[in-house]
Structure 1
Amino acid sequence: MKALIVDDEKHVREGIKILADWKQYNIHAVLEAEDGEEAITLIEECKPELIFTDMRMPKMDGISLLKWLNTTNQNSVVIVVSGHEDYKYMRSAINYNSFDYILKPIDPEILNEALERAVEKWKETNKTSKDELTNSKKSLSKVAQYICEHYEEDLTLQHIADKFYLSREHLSRKFKQEYGQTITDYLTEIRIKKAKELLLQPNYKIYEVAYLVGYQDEKYFSKVFKRVVHVTPNDFRNSFITKQ
């Protein structure tokens, strides 16, 4: 695990580094930043699991850093370390999901208690995220399998979403993230692949092939086929016959 200490005062950063029992919690790297801007650069590069930040700093203060962390969904647990028992700072820390708020001068016992709880919090969150990712992948795999087995039916995004108790938006976004294409494109790819196989069998008429792969309209099928394969269904069939 990695930790980041953000404070414009070097002696405060050094104090936290000395007082915290990093080894006990398997924290092998402790990074430092003098302000929010430098912190963001390190966060993007190193992805620290824990962040200790001051609130009053030049250039970019702690409130702005917390806001950035909250809006970019960084998977870090944040502990505010401030010399100001100010309602404005505490409210901002709560609003932007900071895990704890420690006052300066730093009490070593309080610091290490917060560190222990922050590490446990990160482990719980990370485990939950992994479980959610695993479940999401399983669900998407089932969706893909369902499409493969029912491509000839009148499938719509709404139908599939309802089938798996998901919202259209969530399913659409997650499917594209996982498979690199939309559900519509995935379904079209399967249908056209099957259509190619059927077109190689001369006993099937074009309209029959269209129907068997899920298209009720022969003209629309031909249009989609040409867009994907760059030739019409008839030309595709004839080119195979010519080769034979």
Structure 2
Amino acid sequence: MKEHRILIIDDEPWSREVVKALGHWDQHGIRIVGEAEDGLQGLQMMQELLPDIVLTDMRMPGMEGVALLEQMSSQHPSIQIIVMSGYDDFVYLKQAIRSRAVEYLLKPVNPEELNEALARTVKNLEAATRSIGSGNTPIVFADKNSLDQYLAYRQRIFSFLLMLDKQAVEAEFQKLGLFLEQSFANVNVSSASMAGQIGHDFLLMLGKFAGEHDLALEHVYDAISWDESEGRASWLSFQEAATELATSFGFVMDQFELQKTRGRLDPDEVKGYITNHYADEISLESVARHFHVSKTYLSRMFKQHTGENVSDLILRLRMEKARALIVEQAMPIKYAAQMAGYEDLTYFYRVFKKHFGVPPGGLRK
């Protein structure tokens, strides 16, 4: 029997001890991997411990049960939930059902009811398929361990999506692509078909995130190899699917960041900063760091409002400064280059000629 992992969330230590004493954990093949005192701590522990089951109280300080269930419904959809409450409260019961909690127990917990709930939860986990996804072809894993690993990748990617950590999302998708290639290497199914189904699973996740934050998705599919006749993605391999999904997730994260910072980042302020620092070691990356935004968002926002790229503005300012120093002040080319932000004289000559069509010395003739 595979061991299942459970996290217990209750603000009262004695209540957690009672539950631990009443549960027939070994009989059900369940191991208690952690205890949390409120919903917020519970969410943090879920990300670290990746439990299969969460048994939670509803009345807690801080993040109470209703908010916890709402967060779990979106962040940890694969975790089975058992709700406990000292109140026979229909509002809580309705929320538990909406958040697909599998059981609802009243406090004080009855030992028989607790163990029956645990048994049914384990049964749900075992039956919860080796197949996930949607469409005509289910995602069938060779064993439960492979499914668990896939769900762990899925959970981590969703967590990084919520944190807007593009690098972590990209890294997880790369690892997921390799894992899937290995998992399905000896399975008699079409890689293209399975890649499409797994991609669909992640696009549903992304669509739900976008919908909850009022983000447009019309450009997401520009990064996806799409089969118009089939109405689905047409990836040839898991690696291709992972790469394009990472791009799509990155686009939505950039859009979300843009939405959060819209109205806060002033393009004139950005232009002023560049104008004052163009002779320094400045780049799109350094300007983005200065304003605490991603370079993708900065580039898109600045281009949209000024019609000019950040890098083009830096180049133009440097060239105009160098030209003025050389022509109007007759400054030696070497020093003019340094004043304009160029230490490499050979590179300066090449850039200058490309920009003006003549070498620096040609302007004096």
TM-score interval, normalised by the smaller of the two chains: 0.5 to 0.7
- 2:56 maps to 1:45: no
Q: 2:8·2:36 contact (CA, 8 Å) conserved in 1?
A: yes
Match of 1:141 in 2: 192
Matched ranges for 1:7-26 at <5 A: 7-26=10-29
Match of 1:66 in 2: 69
Q: CA deviation at 1:171?
A: 5.2
For CA contacts below 8 A with separation 6 or more, give which structure has more relative contact order: 1
Q: 1:17·1:30 contact (CA, 8 Å) conserved in 2?
A: no
Residue aligned with 2:138, SS: helix
Q: AA paired with 1:6?
A: I
% identity of equivalent residues: 33
Which residue of 111, 120, 140 maps to 1:117?
120
- The TM-score, its normalising length taken from structure 2, stands at 0.41
Q: 1:175·1:181 contact (CA, 8 Å) conserved in 2?
A: no
In structure 2, do the counterparts of structure 1 residues 113 and 179 end up closer, same or farther at CA, with 3 Å as the change threshold? same
Residue aligned with 1:114, SS: helix
- 2:195 maps to 1:132: no
Which residue of 89, 92, 107 maps to 1:89?
92
Q: AA paired with 1:120?
A: K
Q: 1:81·1:102 contact (CA, 8 Å) conserved in 2?
A: yes
Q: C-alpha offsets along residues 73-125 of structure 1, whole Å, 9 cap, x if unaligned?
A: 43111000110101111111111111110001111000000000001101111
Matched ranges for 1:1-244 at <5 A: 1-129=4-132, 132-134=138-140, 138-141=189-192, 160=227, 162=229, 165=230, 167-168=231-232, 178-181=241-244
Q: CA RMSD in A?
A: 3.0
- The TM-score, its normalising length taken from structure 1, stands at 0.59
Q: C-alpha offsets along residues 126-175 of structure 1, whole Å, 9 cap, x if unaligned?
A: 4233993338974543599xxxxxxxxxxx955x353xx4x33x557x96
Distance 2:131 2:38 in 1: 31
In structure 2, do the counterparts of structure 1 residues 23 and 161 end up closer, same or farther at CA, with 3 Å as the change threshold? farther
User: What are the ranges of 5 or more consecutive residues in structure 1 without an aligned counterpart?
Assistant: 145-155, 183-244
Match of 1:186 in 2: none
Q: 2:8·2:35 contact (CA, 8 Å) conserved in 1?
A: yes
In structure 2, do the counterparts of structure 1 residues 129 and 106 end up closer, same or farther at CA, with 3 Å as the change threshold? same
Q: 1:37·1:59 contact (CA, 8 Å) conserved in 2?
A: yes
In structure 2, do the counterparts of structure 1 residues 116 and 133 end up closer, same or farther at CA, with 3 Å as the change threshold? same
In structure 2, do the counterparts of structure 1 residues 77 and 142 end up closer, same or farther at CA, with 3 Å as the change threshold? closer
Q: 1:161·1:171 contact (CA, 8 Å) conserved in 2?
A: no
